Amino acid sequence: MEKVFQQILYGGDYNPNQWPKEIWTEDMHFFRDAHINSVTINVFSWAKIQPAEDTYNFDELDEIIEMLSRENYNIVLATSTAAVPAWMVKKYPEVMRTDYEGRHHKFGQRHNACPNSLVYQKFARRMAEKLAERYGSNKHVVCWHVNNEYGGECFCENCEKAFRVWLKQKYKTLEALNQAWNLEFWGHTIYDWDEIVLPNALSEELGPNKTAFAGISIDYRRFNSDSILENFKMERDAIRRFDANTPITTNLMGTYKNLDYFKWAKEMDIVSWDNYPAYNTPWSLVAMSHDLMRGLKGRPFMLMEQTPSQQNWQPYNSLKKPGQMRAQSYQTLAHGADTIQFFQLRRSVGGCEKFHGAVIEHVGTKNTRVFREVAQLGKELAALGDQFLGAENPAQVGIIFDWDNYWALEYTSGPSQDLKYVDQIHQYYSYFYKRNIPVDIIPVDADFSRYKAVVAPVLYMVKDGMQEALETYVKNGGTLVTGFMSGLVDQSDNIHLGGYPGPLRKMAGIWVEEIDALAPEQTNTLKFTDGTTSTCNLLCDIIHLEGATSLADYTSNFYADSPAVTKHEFGRGNAFYVGTQLPEEALAKVLDQVVNAAHVSPVIDEATELEVTCRTIGQRRYYFIINLTDRTLPLPKEFEGKTDLLSGNLLSAAEHLSPYDVLLVREE
Which residues form the interface with ligand GLA (CB under 6 A)? 148-149, 274, 276, 305, 311, 343, 353, 356
376-397 per-residue burial string, b: 16 or more CB within 10 A, e: under 16: ebbebbeebeeebbbbbbebbb
In degrees and rounded to multiples of 5, residue 214 shows phi and psi of -60, -35
Q: Which does 356 bind (CB under 5 to 8 A by kind): Zn ion, ligand GLA, none?
A: ligand GLA
Q: Which does 94 bind (CB under 5 to 8 A by kind): Zn ion, ligand GLA, none?
A: none
Describe the chain by its helix, strand, coil percentages, rounded to 5.
35, 20, 45
Instruction: Kindly tell me which of 370 and 548 has the beta carbon lying closer to ligand GLA.
Output: 370
Distance, CA of 638 to chain centre: 32
159 binds Zn ion (CB under 5 A): yes
Active-site residue flag, 53:
no
- Give the neighbor-by-neighbor strand order of the sheet with 272-274: 248-249, 141-145, 74-78, 38-41, 9-13, 337-342, 301-305, 272-274, 251-252
Q: Which does 343 bind (CB under 5 to 8 A by kind): Zn ion, ligand GLA, none?
A: ligand GLA
Distance CA 451, CA 465 (A): 19
What are residue 573's DSSP bridge partners? 570
Looking at residue 604, the DSSP 8-state letter turns out to be S
Q: Which does 154 bind (CB under 5 to 8 A by kind): ligand GLA, Zn ion, none?
A: Zn ion
Query: Catalytic one among 94, 129, 149, 471?
Result: 149
Pairing of strands 479-483, 573-578: parallel
Instruction: Kindly tell me which of 98 and 306 has the beta carbon lying closer to ligand GLA.
Output: 306
Q: Which does 159 bind (CB under 5 to 8 A by kind): ligand GLA, Zn ion, none?
A: Zn ion
Out of 156, 228, 253, 381, point to the residue binding Zn ion (CB under 5 A): 156
Looking at residue 524, the DSSP 8-state letter turns out to be E
The closest of 505, 492, 449 to 474, measured between CA atoms, is 449
What are residue 576's DSSP bridge partners? 481, 567
Instruction: Kindly tell me which of 82 and 591 has the beta carbon lying closer to ligand GLA.
Output: 82
Distance CA 250, CA 273 (A): 8
Instruction: Kindly tell me which of 112 and 627 has the beta carbon lying closer to ligand GLA.
Output: 112
Report in angstroms how near the CB of residue 219 gets to Zn ion at its nearest.
16
Are the C-beta atoms of residues 324 and 277 closer than 8 Å to each other? no
| Positions in 97-116 near Zn ion (CB under 5 A) | 114, 116
Instruction: Kindly tell me which of 98 and 148 has the beta carbon lying closer to ligand GLA.
Output: 148
Distance CA 136, CA 243 (A): 5
Q: Cα separations (Å) of 310 from 214, 303, 315, 341, 347?
A: 39, 17, 12, 15, 11
Instruction: Kindly tell me which of 310 and 472 has the beta carbon lying closer to ligand GLA.
Output: 310
Query: Catalytic one among 94, 153, 205, 305?
Result: 305
In degrees and rounded to multiples of 5, residue 78 shows phi and psi of -90, 160
89 binds Zn ion (CB under 5 A): no
Distance CA 92, CA 120 (A): 9
Active-site residue flag, 26:
no
437 binds Zn ion (CB under 5 A): no
Out of 75, 84, 154, 325, point to the residue binding Zn ion (CB under 5 A): 154
Instruction: Kindly tell me which of 251 and 368 has the beta carbon lying closer to ligand GLA.
Output: 251
Tell me, letter by letter, the H, E, C secondary structure of 334-361. Answer: HCCEEEEEECCCECCCCCCCCCCCCCEC
Q: Which does 268 bind (CB under 5 to 8 A by kind): ligand GLA, Zn ion, none?
A: none
Q: Name the residues that contact Zn ion, by CB under 5 A.
A: 114, 116, 154, 156, 158-159
Positions annotated as catalytic residues are: 149, 305
